[in-house]
A and B are shown apart, each in its own frame.
Chain A
């Protein structure tokens, strides 16, 4: 482990790169309102963060990252457009990887800009790639926006579509839902029995709790509608699987996705954005022809991203966490903006990993 003073020096070096790109340095409190983060990420985040209780402030969380507080701050008082950089400790519980650090420094760069999202995506990626170039890392990119476009394109009821959208970030559950909607898994016997009853609400057990009779009835109606919905076509299931398994260099991925789009034209706008981003990346000097694109990248770990996503990895050290990660999070600004929104993209680097890899090489 590198000396903390060296890590801070490296963090300052990285921050300076972002400041040179016009970013304003910002900071934010270490203690964050837990409720905001829990509402965004759900209960799962407790397994990855430190939550503590304050008698007057309620539940507080040691910041697991800077993105949420930086977005909150920007939505409250930020200039438009704006770009920020920060460096500071973040805190993560490591129940699954006790050998990994639970406190480390992140250096970040965030762009809030309504114009030319492809250019902003490319700028964040290229700056980080440039700062990490001597390490010879492998970069992987993806695009959650493509998956959202794919789900929007499916011939499904709004209820089923909403269920899939909700679980884009939970791959196993997503696949299970697709199979059920396609009629590939049997209806659970208890649900079949429920729907076979003429009046499932008759002779109900005593009503207890906050969830009311009307809510139960509404869900039964939804289940009935779902049972009557025709199954998702086998062809659609094959297309979903084809999109999710794209793992190629950017030009080849684009070509594969264009072939898929012949049968799924609704993803064409997402592909145009992908292509524009590739051009913007190339204009910034990124070797797009060898840059990896994985359609499923970022699905299990990067909940708030809804567009371009990327990560930088040390191929020779698969035991290490990624050296840098980032992506586009337009929807997060909408959720935290109370009616306002602004397209945003950013990324973070771990200076401790940079030093570790430099020392090893």
Chain B
């Protein structure tokens, strides 16, 4: 057995994660060819690097197949039911910041709050005969948020990418998506509602509450936590 650390397998998220660990004396790196998802860990023993898509890390943590994992808390909270019973956040890594927001066309001057959205949704359904469509890939988080906000007469439509374009393409009336600067939203003539956002997210190191550990693994986790200052 060894302690398995799951890290996003590509892109800026992987590089920034490697930097974060390097600053704390642990060198993570990809080995082999660029296409091969294998990695090595230096600076501490008994730790294996597992390179995974950021979207798969929540599931692997919940299943206990990895002990530690780096992913956004948006993905954790969307994908895991009662997530806090399955994983424990150890540290926010200070990058990958994003906010999950609800946005509507900028031309909707009458809509600025969830209260407005509910009013507009009721009128929309009466006029068009179907419930106002909100495009998102964060179904659970957004549904929970809108329920708590008292919004009725809407429907979520699945959008796994280019969500900002759905309104212009007439496949949705509003969207709920991750944004960091809001630039893509503005370019697509969308504006963010003024209520508190659905969720603030950043890359976070999580500990699985489900993974099996040998005594040696426990010792490694203690040492690792000490080195990382978490």
Contacts and interface: CB of A to CB of B under 8 A. Distances in A.
Interface of A: 38-39, 42-44, 46-47, 95, 98, 162-163, 166-167, 170, 172-173, 176, 180, 188, 190-191, 194, 200-201, 204-211, 213, 215-216, 218-220, 222-223
A180 B119 CA distance: 14
The 5 nearest A-B residue pairs measured at CB: A173-B150, A205-B106, A190-B112, A205-B107, A209-B167
Interface in B128-150: 128, 131-132, 139-140, 143-144, 146-148, 150
Contacts of A213: 107
Interface stretch (B50-58, B90-98, B153-161, B199-207): B153-161
B189 interface: yes
B131 A209 contact: no
Interface string B147-187: 11010111110000000000110101100000000000000
Interface of B: 81-82, 105-110, 112-113, 115-116, 118-120, 122-124, 127-128, 131-132, 139-140, 143-144, 146-148, 150, 152-156, 167-168, 170, 172-173, 188-189, 194
B140 A210 contact: no
Contacts of B172: 209
A191 B168 contact: no
Nearest to A176: B150
A166 B173 contact: no
B170 A194 contact: no
Given A166-B152, A220-B109, 12 more contacts: A43-B143, A47-B143, A188-B194, A191-B112, A191-B113, A207-B107, A209-B105, A209-B173, A211-B108, A215-B123, A218-B123, A222-B119
Given A191-B116, A216-B109, A167 B150 contact: yes
A39 B130 CA distance: 8
Given A44-B147, A170-B152, A216 B107 contact: yes
A177 to B, nearest CB: 8
A167 B152 contact: yes
Given A209-B170, A216-B108, A43 B156 contact: yes
A172 B146 CA distance: 13
